[in-house]
Structure 1
Amino acid sequence: MNTIYLNEEQLSVDEFNSVCQQSLQQQAFPLAQGAERNVLIYQADSLISAAHDDRQAVLSELHRALSSGPGVFVVKGLYRDLAAVDRSSQIFEEILRDEAASGGGGDHFAKAGSNGRIWNALQKVAERDADAFIDYYANPLLALICESWVGPGYEITAQVNQVRPGGKAQQPHRDYHLGFQSNDVVARFPLPLQILSQYLTLQGAVAHSEMPLESGPTQLLPFSHQYQGGYLAWRQPAFIEYFQQHAIQLPLSKGDGLFFNPALFHAAGNNTTADHIRTANLLQVSSSFGKTMEKVNHVKVLLSLYPALRQRQLETEQRNAVIAAAAEGYSFPTNLDTDPPLGGLVPQTQQALLLQALKEEWTEVHFDQQLSEHVRKRQA
């Protein structure tokens, strides 16, 4: 068996089952108040008190919970000041109404328009109400949780998700980075890089409404992040069926926080209520390591190279090597309002745009126009 590059034929539901059937050893997590269905439950006040005594011990335990532990934990009372949560919720509703009126809306892992989604809620709230932003993110415990997984220097993005009455569940999935890529792309990454991917982001959700089970709180499969082939597996029917048979849900109260390893199989649930809107602020916290050492103006590079590239008769592999060196090869970060993932989970990359231009023999003027539009769509 190739242990560096995986393919779909090497995946095994039986092995996946062995991983997911682990039992939580709660004694290994002494700061937890308890556990429910293999999910660790922490009290915000207890974590704050423990951090005053030994901050590193808290950081260590939370990190272990997301790595060697079940991969998920709940913090009850993450927001004691519910006024800050409600104020942000009011702004969310304003944004949703404004964007619905302008025809916006899109989603990952669910049919567009079936639920409510705000992309880049962090910036949009800051622009509408600076005090609301400050009150919301002036939360040292949230900062400590972020640091426990991705270390200092992290960057937060936020996307609001509403599951409305009658709203259907998402398909089970893993999350950003590799969870957004097709299996063809995932298979090109060595397995150690696939494992590394989960250490580059933290997934969080702050409950902005009460979340009884019937309202569709996140479905979770504890320990599933430990299955190494999971980024290739989550789309396969056998693994989807396993998730649907074994996933668990926990009710949350307004102000609670749910945090999980992005490699954990998860999905928003069905909202079977007649009148309850389930609202969560989804936090995606990125490691500082996902950045280059130097800032390169790739637009200037491409505009300089394109005339020569059109004239050169390069072999395909030579051409692709030049494109890889000259253009950005990753879809993110982008503005998902103006650069949506149409036809898949990821928008067009700069490299794909350049390849299209060369294949279709665009003029220099047309390439300049399309490259400028590509830049414009990605700006926040």
Structure 2
Amino acid sequence: MTQIYFNEERLSLDDFASLCAQTLHRQDFPLARAAEKNVLIYHRDDLLTAAKTDRQNTLAELHRALSSGPGVFAVQGLYDDLAAIDRSSNLFEAILASEAANGGGGDHFAKAGSNGRIWNALQKVAERDAEAFVEYYSNPLLALICEAWVGPGYEITAQVNQVRPGGKAQQPHRDYHLGFQLNEVVARFPLPLQILSQYLTLQGAVAHSDMPIASGPTQLLPWSQQYAEGYLAWRDPRFIAFFQQHAVQLPLKKGDGLFFNPALFHAAGNNVTGDHIRTANLLQVSSSFGKTMEKVNHVKVLEAIYPALLGKKLSAAQLQAVVAASGEGYSFPTNLDTDPPLGGLVPKTQQQLVLEALQQDCPAEEFNARLAEHERKREA
């Protein structure tokens, strides 16, 4: 009989170690340029070229890398325009300084104040500099990677993490959803639901600085996402010790990306440099079937960036990418009395609304009115 519910007493370090002992076979992932320490290394140009030829096969390989593969891959040159990275980095510094003056915020899995953290960086950047937002999120490769794991209609949140010289490593952990829950809560979920939760979120990090090993790039334990009971295991001292003995790190260059299954055991590393600040924009991409960790005010984001979109010449892929990052792409929940389905089974989404407005060259004031009416209709 299949075991449906588990508790800590049933955890097996031997089973976990056996899964983590797998070896990556490079030939199973032909689009990758290399494999280092059981982490797949892709390059921006290779993925974009492959996607033009066979998009579905490219999506499938990236999905396999995160599921049946090692659970993590890096993308060299995810951003080839480093000016877009630097522009956002300057905004991050201004936001960090402003928030530090007002008391700052806490961090997950690390001592409060030891790192710099910006919650809801996506919305804060959009409101401060719409052009910077558009430059950053009009990245077709980022959109491709998001879709590979969570499918279309996803929603992005972003949190900046800065590990300063002397900053200590995080506790190894799994991520949202169940990675944020206490074990007594996790144990109440049937194991198939625990396994399902990892397919609802993609974890990503964009390097906003070079990340040599000494600066503490993310510690990773390839294959650990395959341990079904892992949401109950990551606090266990035996599993923490195993992680500390076997975790790997890869250096990244500014503009590179790192993406992993949220069930992968991971942790920010120690920054043992004397003067190097390691900054990453952490992306959490949620399936339309799930809920994001943060509440982003997409109305404010769209009002902020719409004038910039009106005057911006973007390719169709770039436009789709930035709209996917800025507006809701899922029709529910809504009030079906006032927001009934039109021409199908679902009401119009924010993403459809903004694309229609741009196609019609709708003035910003009129678009804002349409957006307000759209929101009003969705309220109960």
Same fold (TM over 0.5): yes
C-alpha distance in 2, partners of 1:8/1:194? 14
Is 1:61 the equivalent of 2:61? yes
* RMSD between aligned residues: 1.3
Give the gaps of 5 or more residues in structure 2: 292-330, 336-380
Distance in 2 (alpha carbons) for counterparts of 1:15 and 1:285: 29
Deviations 1:267-295 (CA, angstroms, capped at 9, x unpaired): 00000000000000000000001269544
Taking only the aligned residue pairs, the percentage that are identical comes to 79
Residue 199 of structure 1 aligns to a residue whose secondary structure is: helix
- TM superposition shift of 1:122: 0.1
Residue 269 of structure 1 is matched in structure 2 by 269
Query: Residue 187 of structure 1 corresponds to which residue in structure 2?
Result: 187
Is residue 2:261 matched to residue 1:248? no
The answer for the alignment partner of 1:206 in structure 2 is: 206
1:218 alignment partner in structure 2: 218
1:1-380 paired onto structure 2 within 5 Å: 3-290=3-290, 293-295=332-334
Query: 1:81-138 CA distances to partner (integer Å, 9 max, x unpaired)?
Result: 0000000000000000000001122100001100000000000000000000000001
Structure 1 length normalisation: TM-score? Answer: 0.77
* CA drift at 1:254: 0.2
Summarize the Cα distance change of 1:294–1:161 in structure 2 as closer, same or farther, 3 Å threshold: closer
Which residue does 1:364 correspond to in 2? Answer: none
Per-residue deviation at 1:2? 6.1
Q: Which residue identity is paired with 2:143? A: A
Please state how far the C-alpha of 1:3 moved relative to its aligned partner: 1.1
Question: Displacement, 1:25?
Answer: 1.3
Provide the aligned length of Structure 1 versus Structure 2: 297
Gaps of 5+ in 1: 297-380
Q: TM-score, normalised by structure 2?
A: 0.77
Supply the AA of the counterpart residue of 2:121.
A
Deviations 1:316-371 (A, max 9, x none): xxxxxxxxxxxxxxxxxxxxxxxxxxxxxxxxxxxxxxxxxxxxxxxxxxxxxxxx
Distance (Å, rounded) in 1 between the aligned partners of 2:80 and 2:176? 29
* One-letter amino acid of the structure 2 residue matched with residue 21 of structure 1: A
For the pair shown, the structure with the greater C-alpha radius of gyration is: 1
Q: Take 1:3 and 1:84, find their aligned partners in 2: how far apart are those partners?
A: 49
Q: Partner letter of residue 238 of structure 2?
A: A
Alpha-carbon separation, structure 1, partners of 2:26 and 2:245: 24
The one-letter amino acid of 2:272's match is T
* Alpha-carbon distance in structure 2 between the residues aligned to 1:180 and 1:288: 20
The code of the aligned residue for 1:157 comes to: T
Look up the SS of the partner of 2:248 in the other structure. coil
Structure-2 separation of matches of 1:97 and 1:72: 32
Q: Distance in 1 between matches of 2:60 and 2:238?
A: 35
